[in-house]
């Protein structure tokens, strides 16, 4: 796949470093675009990208770009992805896919109409450890699934902290961190949430910086999620069943987990991954494009939409809307 990159920020740099580190002739960096030509040229020089563009629209005209990785701020995801699809480019769109489910539905419809691949870049779904975790649950190693708990929080110096929390660019812990915690729980539980209760704290930048969610799923299963920006919380998770539990020290970069029966010996499953971990989602894009599919069957539009619709419902419960939503 010949990749174009929109944005030159931190996550775009990780993506570029990942492609280069794969040393795979089928995965190459063809172009990078930014709203600043100087930034695009500096990025291209650092990562060996063939061409640099001072606008996103210019890169859309490049026939050598097959697929575009989008790493712009959250509030720009929809318009950036729509532009790429209309230009005939496949899309890997950084999380959250969009700031609400309606926008995501529109993108999926457009991709299907144009028969172009699109996927939210929820990279942890493609790690070997996630599939092993799925198999462990499905094989009944902890009995009947009953409850899961996950938390994730970080802090950062200014101005990065402000950028993560500014409401006018789609910031906030729910979109930035909740996409991980709730996405992980959706993978574990599979079903859509039936009901939830929540508590939230809002930051001086206009968005949420800490929230706690209690979730109820079909069959009496429950889950607990905490997400925070400005508070450091270990990325651990626990999955409880009727006969045992699974302990995960870092669900966001899962390379091992411990299966702990309530009676009997515990054992640890280790599945280290190479590089940054983004390699697996990149290969999934190429695999599906070559197969002629417009979506991934590992992380499908339905999977993505379950989480985005839940995020919408949570924000509605908070009576919180982003600035552009208030204008509508």
Q: DSSP assignment, residue 88?
A: T
Bond before 159 cis per omega within 30 degrees: yes
Q: What CA–CA distance (Å, rounded) separates 59 from 62?
A: 5
C-alpha dist (Å) from residue 226 to 122, 208, 233, 261: 18, 12, 9, 25
Active-site option among 95, 114, 164, 253: 95
Q: Comparing C-alpha atoms, which of 147, 228, 137, 129 is closest to residue 180?
A: 228
Handedness of CA 279, 280, 284, 285 (dihedral sign): negative
| Secondary structure class of 277 (helix, strand, coil) | coil
Q: How many beta carbons lie within 10 A of that of residue 45, not counting itself?
A: 10
* Cα 120–chain centre separation: 6
C-alpha dist (Å) from residue 252 to 176, 178, 184: 13, 12, 8
Beta-carbon-side half-sphere exposure of residue 94 (alpha carbons within 13 Å): 23
Asked about 95 being catalytic, the answer comes back as yes
The structure tokens listed for 89 are: 């480019």
Residues with catalytic roles: 95
């Amino acid at each position: 796949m010949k990749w174009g990159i929109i944005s030159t920020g931190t996550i775009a740099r990780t993506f570029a470093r990942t492609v280069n580190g794969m040393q795979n002739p089928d995965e190459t960096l063809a172009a990078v675009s930014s709203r600043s030509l100087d930034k695009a040229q500096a990025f291209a020089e650092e990562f060996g990208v063939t061409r640099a563009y001072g606008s996103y629209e210019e890169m859309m005209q490049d026939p050598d770009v097959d697929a575009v990785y989008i790493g712009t701020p959250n509030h720009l995801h929809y318009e950036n992805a729509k532009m790429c699809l209309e230009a005939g480019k496949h899309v890997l769109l950084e999380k959250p896919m969009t700031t609400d489910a309606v926008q995501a539905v529109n993108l999926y419809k457009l991709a299907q109409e144009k028969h172009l691949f699109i996927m939210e870049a929820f990279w942890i779904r493609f790690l070997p450890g996630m599939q092993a975790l799925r198999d462990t649950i499905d094989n009944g190693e902890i009995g009947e699934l009953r409850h899961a708990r996950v938390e994730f929080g970080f802090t950062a110096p200014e101005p990065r902290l402000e950028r993560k929390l500014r409401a006018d660019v789609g910031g906030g812990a729910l979109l930035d961190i909740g996409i991980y915690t709730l996405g992980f729980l959706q993978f574990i539980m599979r079903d859509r949430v039936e009901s939830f209760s929540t508590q939230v704290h809002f930051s001086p930048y206009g968005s949420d910086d800490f929230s706690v969610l209690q979730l109820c799923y079909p069959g009496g299963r429950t889950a607990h999620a905490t997400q925070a920006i400005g508070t450091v919380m270990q990325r651990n998770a626990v999955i409880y069943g009727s006969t045992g539990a699974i302990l995960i020290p870092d669900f966001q970069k899962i390379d091992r987990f411990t299966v702990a029966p309530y009676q009997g010996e515990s054992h640890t499953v280790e599945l280290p991954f190479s590089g940054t971990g983004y390699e697996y989602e990149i290969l999934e894009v190429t695999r599906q494009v070559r197969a002629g599919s417009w979506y991934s069957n590992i992380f499908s539009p339905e999977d993505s939409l379950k989480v985005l619709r839940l995020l919408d419902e949570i924000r509605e419960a908070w009576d919180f809307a982003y600035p552009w939503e208030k204008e509508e």
